[in-house]
Amino acid sequence: MDIAGKKAVVFGGTSGIGLATSQKLAELGAKVIAVSRNPDRAGDVPSSITLKKCDALDRESVAQLLAECAPIDILISAATGGPRAIGPFLEMDMDGYKASFDKLWGYANVLRFGAEHVVDDGTVVLVSGAPARKCKPGQVSLSSVGGAVESLVRAVAPEIAPKRLNVVSPGTIDTPMVPLEGEKRRESYANATSKNLIPRAGKAEEVAQAIVFMVQNDFVTGTTIDVDGGWLLS
């Protein structure tokens, strides 16, 4: 796909991986619509990118927004859905575990109500996470949700063909989701990645590069690309 001139809608497109993706698509000449629950809190969004407010968990709002944006060439969701429960499953607050799946429901809404507005040679990309296939202690909810996202992609890709549907699976990425600052932030990321083959946190831009690859490569669908610093092999 030649991205120049294409219309791209990016949910979660004003922060972290989503923002980096919006920026890269805009640099390549796409007409980018970045969607956020709180556009007023948007990061460094270029003026060339259009901001829209929408909660991915609000089905009616998602359906309305996507219909207004149609036709769509590129549809991406990197929206996190909100907090996710961390800790041993047998000690877990089950309401917290259930709430962790808001990410999946948001993705499902975007895919369900967006696919019909994606052009036949268009593409959809979602974001899962390395715990989907290698769960570290305390990451049961992350693993469950990520696994569900990847299964959703494999199951739906045949339904929407020739439109393409893929998923990118990041490892530990330095994004605003982590509220720590200064030395505590550096220590947290260092501890989390010390056993990875590449012992550092990834950058949002590195994940965005993989998303852009999924967009541009017309021979890839129903698959997952790992951008995890060797998480799965550590």
pLDDT digits (tens, 9 = 90+) for 125-169: 999 999 999 999 999 999 999 999 999 999 999 999 999 999 999
Q: At what angle do helices 204-216 and 16-27 cross, to 10 degrees?
A: 50
Within a domain: 54: yes
Within a domain: 2: no
Within a domain: 141: yes
Within a domain: 94: yes
Per-position DSSP letters for 39-51, written without gaps between them:
GGG--S--TTSEE
Split at pLDDT 50, 70, 90, the class of 60 is: very high
First to last CA, the chain: 34
Within a domain: 1: no
What does the pLDDT read at residue 153? Answer: 98
Within a domain: 143: yes
What does the pLDDT read at residue 80? Answer: 86
The verdict on pTM exceeding 0.85 is: yes
Domain hosting 155: range is 7-229
Tens digit of pLDDT for each residue in 69-122?
999 999 999 998 888 899 999 999 999 999 999 999 999 999 999 999 999 999
Mean pLDDT across the stretch 218-223? 98
Within a domain: 52: yes
Q: What CATH number did the domain enclosing 224 receive? A: 3.40.50.720
What does the pLDDT read at residue 67? Answer: 98
Count of domains for the chain? 1
The mean pLDDT of the chain is: 95
Query: Would you say 53 and 47 are in contact if contact means Cβ atoms under 8 Å apart?
Result: no
